[in-house]
Structure 1
């Protein structure tokens, strides 16, 4: 069935891992008739968590789509991962969604994951509903959970529910404040109406009056009516709440249990009644054909435009997930990829339900679907009608902050790893990999250790290659601190023409990082035609220092004397003589090891400042300053040796309960302290022995 934009809602489920997002999505799909059974995460049979890794780990790793058809509307539910290593999936879902449901557990209230989800939504000005899950489980406490929300967001919270407890304080039903009705869940999750308990009538009246006050504040006309003592009609209540949700002054709170179905239908009703449709969603910015940034206005009757917000590759091919922003899409339609400027033809179109793809003949404005057999498409591409090309702003993925070296357990499978990582990188834009020629390692950079563990599993299961992770080597440098003069002499007689080269070299600290080669030969002691050979010998030699084999920088090398043989001298002989001089002279020039230093910017709540700064001091970091970042956060600026940052992403998460974030970029090389030099030299020697 095809739905118009007014009857579509795109909502993403956000929150901490384990708070019940996937179970809630399953409950919505099941009670709306979209599946014949209620899937269970422990049983591994949910519609949204279909990847073998998700089933094995019992967590969501990728965002999946569950289209829920309910009361004449289509709700595209985007179930996102709650674990921070998979935050890139959340960024993608936020790009496609027009509203969010932040899921908090009745056992923990406003958890770190919910806090971060709230921040993501606030930055993007996304309307949101708060949903308190697991209200009927042991050790749950709805009142305590709601109190944490009230403390955090104050009067902006608009509770639409009042739980009904039994004698053991277990939630057995809920009161729908807006409709002034009470419900309990039937054996199959159906909504059964019950009488409002006598002891809850006063609570209902109080909550309804509070809602009326919130509605009154959404417009002057409503305010006049409220102070005039008039009651609002149901339509006016919904209109006011909807306006408050859209302008981000109201955040409705609901609750329930995904397992029993309690509260699920009420949530579905709230999504349809209170959350914006795709045409009413937040404005997007796009670059037009002239390279100017304009606001993009979504409109059903406009020329077709769609955004690729996610890519999924499997053994059957590649799916590019689309959100239609204007017009409608049909298979074989000619389009232009705004990133490349190249014309293309749309492939087959599908509606996704977990891993199941159902082919459709058209995708309407505001809807979410997928297209296949378009190998050139990448996440972040904008597909346009050739008559109006616009390039929408890319998805703001988090910077990779955790790096590990990856290698095959069986030698000779490096190409298979590279091919697998390239395919996986298409799906997950939060990790990148490089083949580092200097350290002779394949290095993968991403968000954390759990992401890396999943990458290893997928390499094995999808691409048949067993890989292992290790600490990446640090790219040190070497330099000298004093001047030396040394002779390099190469003489070899083998019968017939021999080999003869003789140079006197001066090595001293230079100004430039690059090798500075000079010649100051007097009287033709070394003919000019051998100068290039001497320079070539030096450029090869400085790739390997004498301390630990790292490249030498800031070196000035001057050829100032030497001798030659009219018959036996050659370019090769002078090149060899130069390298002999290098090996003989550099150890006497006070060589030292330089380590890479990075600029670190850590954003943490005030309460963790002491722990974070103390930890930076242990890492030989220099704190340069602190700046307030708003909302109780501080940004600490520091310079830290890269050798000390290997596990920082994991350690910071542990120190701040996941609330901290950071960026880290190389700035320069500095002389390493003696203890760090000894450690690095010993490691380099051990590695050299291993390579041999």
Structure 2
């Protein structure tokens, strides 16, 4: 395979909503360049990109897939990404390491909500962006409406480079405003015929060409001067201005495509070659300390691992970008986070499931290697003590479910397999929750979790079942209460005896000191689950020996670990031990621990006990026409609407929703909006549950206790 220098390597991430035609475009680009002899079809499961079994089953992308093509002495690395929000981790990692985003818009549907989510990350990383309006041969194609929506969402950097002459089922021609030429494609696609612009299109073409020239000129003072002098810019000057604009995130050139019918990909690849920036032209990557990592071919080797993939019968594949220097097969590089030297025995260029052996990868290139020992996603390989690349930040999960192995003998295997899946997919989080006594999977959506279950059962042969994840309730009190408890047990020989008098109160920061009895000392415990326990020792006259006070507190803490109402953690209580009795022989630590626990339990039930539930701030972004349905769905799930806003042509509804409703809410909102809702949720506070719900949960807990 030919080796390319850093200026002739272009890294493109292919983005777009589901069904926008990304995988089909990849096939067309590889076919046009002669990399593959024939184009596969998604429906037939024979594309270079979607090669995993689950992708064949679904008929859509689940993983980001690396490929490459070679076009007119340039190498173009392409990463085809999924279009569904559930797999956003694959998208984010790909955006982060590529140098240009190629965003596909479906001419039938315009800018979809999923596109807005993708754009958030493109904009965050300030990636140069090319827009491609695809499926212009569809009956409902509407180029003008798509461009109008793109400008609403992406801003006026959207710059038309081409427009269709005859969109719809007869589509075969585009006007190219850079070359001021009409391209007419043969019936089966491929290389177009170059024709003069028809008279009927000249006025429109001239108008849009002038807008293109102005857009290119405004990004560079020298070009602006030349524009004023000549009244125009030549083709090379236009390319220069467009590149500068793309690097400034001020120009998003628009191309026209029918990926399915092989129309427009060659012109697009030519633009990528000539105008899209290479890695050495991009702003420097950042290290963890904020230092610049210069993309220097002569610099020390720096490899950043952006993706880990476990392939059956092959092992662990680590995908990386060479940010500096070069790497040769057999090189030994140090991994600071893994604290190990890694030997890269083989280097590959990946084309889907096929891997092409290479001897060297140079600055700016993307490749992969096999079976690194301790290297994971977000790790850096380089010289010992060298720079560490700033990590990719993945979004927090949206939904959760508890998971159990169907066969209890598979528990250990399940734990190991889940760790492997998390290594491959950082957006899937595994929590071993001691409080809830459950293993909980946190994912981006129900589909994300469902496909995890599919992988466990089909790839790892580990049958599992999903059950609802419990809610981490909290218990507290609303008023003060006192209690006395005597523990007495005699069974021959030394017995057990302890008597404890306590007062409990709701605790809040800044509350007045306890004054009913003299306080000898106070201990404040910051509880691991939130809130505090304040423990006052008010014993005078030796009614209880000081050495027994820790045992009383230990008993109280045990009951706070498993609250009296529902077995949930208790928080924000002030306990004052003010009197008691002991026996010179029968009193001991266990007696006072039991007496403290039972006194606390009795007082708790008298103190207007309150059950608290976690509540989240939820932000839902949806098309305007869906706002009413979404608000109704939110309110039916105990949500309180806290605000509404408008953003880029969409409605943003803000609400506060209990966690007990949250998992069901995600599914309901996706259903009512046909998958067009974007939902974000952030923990807000613990709030009181409604009285009827508290009563029901207490009764359920009593039933569990009786069965136990």
- My pick for the range that moved more, 552-561 or 278-287, is 552-561
How much does 1:509 deviate? 1.8
- Asked whether 1:140 is paired with 2:136, we answer no
CA distance in 2, matches of 1:164, 1:635: 37
Distance 2:691 2:176 in 1: 69
Give the direction of change, closer, same or farther, for the CA distance of 1:564–1:13 in structure 2 (3 Å limit): same
C-alpha contact 1:479 1:555 (8 A) present in aligned 2: no
SS in 2 for 1:363: strand
Match 1:372 to one of 355, 370, 373: 370
Measured at CA, do residues 686 and 36 of structure 1 come closer, stay the same or move farther in structure 2, by a change above 3 Å? farther
Q: Provide the secondary structure at the position in 2 that maps to 1:473.
A: coil
Cα distance, 1:118 vs structure 2: 3.1
Q: Which moved more, 1:340-349 or 1:22-31?
A: 340-349
| Structure 1 position 305 matched with structure 2 position 302 | yes
Q: Which residue of 1 aligns with 2:83?
A: 82
Partner of 2:334: 336
User: Within 2, Cα distance between the matches of 1:226 and 1:541?
Assistant: 79
- 1:595/1:222 Cα in 2 relative to 1: closer, same or farther (>3 Å)? closer
Distance, in Å, in 1 between the alignment partners of 2:544 and 2:224 is 96
CA shift digits 1:612-664 (9 cap, x unpaired): 777666655567778x8986789887655433433344455567764644241
Shift of 1:45: 1.3
Matched residue of 1:313: which SS?
Answer: strand
In structure 2, relative to structure 1, the CA distance for the partners of 1:617 and 1:460 (3 Å cut) is same
SS at match of 1:359: strand
Asked if the contact 1:501/1:569 (under 8 Å) is kept, the reply is yes
Q: Would the alpha carbon gap of residues 417 and 682 (structure 1) be closer, same or farther in structure 2, given more than 3 Å must change? A: farther
Task: Tell me how far apart the structure 1 counterparts of residues 441 and 578 of structure 2 sit (CA, whole Å).
Answer: 43
TM-score with structure 2 length normalisation? 0.86
Moved more, 172-181 or 651-660: 651-660
* Equivalent residues of 1:116, 1:659 under 8 A apart: no
* d(CA) in 1 for partners of 2:539, 2:165: 97
| TM-score scaled by length of structure 1 | 0.88
How far is 1:522 from its partner? Answer: 6.1
For the residues of structure 2 that align with 1:552 and 1:232, how far apart are their CA atoms? 73
Matches within 5 A, 1:405-420: 405-420=402-417
The alpha-carbon distance between structure 1 residues 410 and 362, as it changes in their structure 2 partners (threshold 3 A), is same
Residue 185 of structure 1: how far off its partner (Å): 4.2
With 502-511 and 393-402 compared, the bigger mean Cα shift is at 502-511
- Label 1:44 to 1:619 Cα distance change in 2 as closer, same or farther (>3 A): same
User: What SS does structure 1 have at the residue aligned with 2:363?
Assistant: coil
1:125 aligns with 2:126: yes
- Give the match's secondary structure for 2:108: coil
Q: Alignment partner of 2:43: what SS?
A: coil
**Would the alpha carbon gap of residues 262 and 572 (structure 1) be closer, same or farther in structure 2, given more than 3 Å must change?**
same
Q: Is the contact between residue 486 and residue 504 of structure 1 (CA under 8 Å) also seen in structure 2? A: yes
| Aligned match for 2:480, one of 479, 482, 488 | 482
Give the conservation status (yes or no) of the 8 Å contact 2:12–2:77.
Answer: yes
Partner of 2:44, secondary structure, is coil
Structure 2 partner of 1:105:
106
Deviation at 1:451, TM superposition (A): 0.8
| Closer, same or farther: CA 221–476 of 1 in aligned 2, 3 Å | closer
Pair 1:429-2:446 in alignment: no
Q: Structure 1 residue 2 and structure 2 residue 7: aligned?
A: no
- Larger deviation: 530-539 or 352-361? 530-539
Tell whether the 8 Å contact from 2:555 to 2:597 is kept in structure 1 after alignment.
Answer: yes
Q: Give the corresponding residue for 1:547.
A: 565
Q: Does 1:674 align with 2:672?
A: no
Q: How does 1:201-240 map to 2 (within 5 A)?
A: 202=202, 203-229=204-230, 232-240=233-241
Residue 683 of structure 1, CA deviation: 4.2
Q: How does 1:21-40 map to 2 (within 5 A)?
A: 21-40=22-41
Once the two structures are superposed, residues 431-452 of structure 1 have per-residue CA deviations (whole angstroms, 9 ceiling, x without a partner) of 2111111111111222111111
Asked whether the equivalents of residues 520 and 561 of structure 1 are also in contact (C-alpha less than 8 Å), the reply is no
Match for 2:583 among 546, 556, 564?
564
1:501 corresponds to: 497
1:445 matches 2:464:
no
In 2: Cα distance, 1:596 partner to 1:143 partner: 46
Partner of 1:281: 282
Q: Which residue of structure 1 lines up, in the alignment, with residue 393 of structure 2? A: 396
How much is the aligned-residue C-alpha RMSD, in angstroms? 3.3
**Structure 1's 497 and 396: CA in aligned 2 closer, same or farther, altered over 3 A?**
same
2:609 to 586, 591, 611: 591
Secondary structure, counterpart of 2:60 in structure 1? coil
Q: Cα gap change, 1:221/1:457 in structure 2, threshold over 3 Å: closer, same or farther?
A: same
Alpha-carbon distance between aligned partners in 2 of 1:339 and 1:585, rounded to the nearest angstrom: 51
1:613–1:338 CA distance, 2 compared to 1 (3 A): farther
Other-structure match for 1:352: 350
> Relative to structure 2, which stretch is displaced further, 221-230 or 405-414?
221-230
Structure 2: state its 5+ residue gaps.
508-523, 525-530
Q: 1:491 to 1:522 in 2, by over 3 A?
A: farther
Deviation of 1:405 after TM superposition, in Å, equals 1.7
For residue 178 of structure 1, what is the aligned residue in structure 2?
178
Aligned pairs (5 A) from 1:484-633: 484-493=482-491, 496-497=492-493, 499-509=495-505, 511=507, 513-517=531-535, 530-553=548-571, 554-556=573-575, 558=577, 560-564=579-583, 566=585, 570-582=588-600, 586-598=604-616, 600=617, 602=619, 604=621, 620=638
Q: Counterpart in 1 of 2:44?
A: 43
Task: Return closer, same or farther for 1:557/1:551 CA change in 2, 3 Å cut-off.
Answer: farther
The 1:622/1:300 distance shift into structure 2, 3 A limit, reads: same
Q: CA deviation at 1:459?
A: 1.2
Contact 2:308 / 2:316 at 8 angstroms: preserved in 1? yes
Structure 1 residue 521: Cα displacement: 5.5
Query: Match of 1:266?
Result: 267
Alpha-carbon distance in structure 1 between the residues aligned to 2:398 and 2:681: 7
- In structure 2, the residue matched to 1:191 is 191
1:420 deviation in Å? Answer: 1.7
- Give the corresponding residue for 2:659: 642
Task: Say which is worse superposed, 411-420 or 628-637, in terms of deviation.
Answer: 628-637
